[in-house]
Amino acid sequence: MTNELLESKTMNGKFYTDEIEMLNYDRAADNFPSAQDFVTFNRVVNIMDLGTAADDCASAFQSVFGSDTAAATAAWDFKDSVKFQIVLNEAGLITEADVAWRSSQDWDTIHVYFLTQAEDAFFKLLSASKAKTSPELSEAIDAFRKKIEAGRRLEIALV
């Protein structure tokens, strides 16, 4: 993951930027007691990034197709599925995630789930976009695709 993906994130209503400098620490840095904490933070940021991209896609579809189209609805459904809150303690560690089934799933499962949802939504959006094109829509879809690809690269890097 690059600093680019850490820029302009909103967590629990607080604004965070790359000033956090998470990527300036290695996985065993003092502010992360374990490698897993570092990996978890990066995966959560990536998932939130996908949610933002899905939101942008949904907005673009609604402006081009109108709010009652299946494609726009699918985009908003995906965006809503990404809703969860991240609570960071003063040390910058993830201490809680508001995911309905968090207690029965590990973070690897959650991350793959959201990436799969993103891919499904992307192909639905891409299919619907063939009916009508616009620069705004093309840009939103392209941004969404790039977020999915970034997530896959991250997943490979963390294996």
Residues recorded for the chain: 159
Domain residue ranges of the chain, discontinuous segments joined by +: 33-158
Residue with the larger pLDDT of the pair 118 and 145? 145
Tokens of 30: 């003092």
Residue with the larger pLDDT of the pair 75 and 141? 141
pLDDT recorded at residue 99: 37
Residue with the larger pLDDT of the pair 58 and 25? 58
Half-sphere exposure at residue 37, Cβ-oriented, CA atoms within 13 angstroms:
19
pLDDT recorded at residue 146: 72
Q: Across residues 13-24, what is the average pLDDT?
A: 35
pLDDT recorded at residue 142: 73
**Range picked from 42-51, 81-90, 99-108, 144-153 for highest mean pLDDT:** 144-153
122-140, pLDDT tens digit by residue?
566 566 555 556 666 677 6
Q: Across residues 53-63, what is the average pLDDT?
A: 63
Task: Give the DSSP letter string of 3-20.
Answer: HHHHTTEEETTEEE-GGG
pLDDT at 90 over 60: no
- Rounded to the nearest integer, the mean pLDDT of the chain is 50
Three-state DSSP at 144 gives helix
pLDDT at 9 over 60: no
147-157, pLDDT tens digit by residue?
666 655 655 55
Tokens of 38: 């570092």
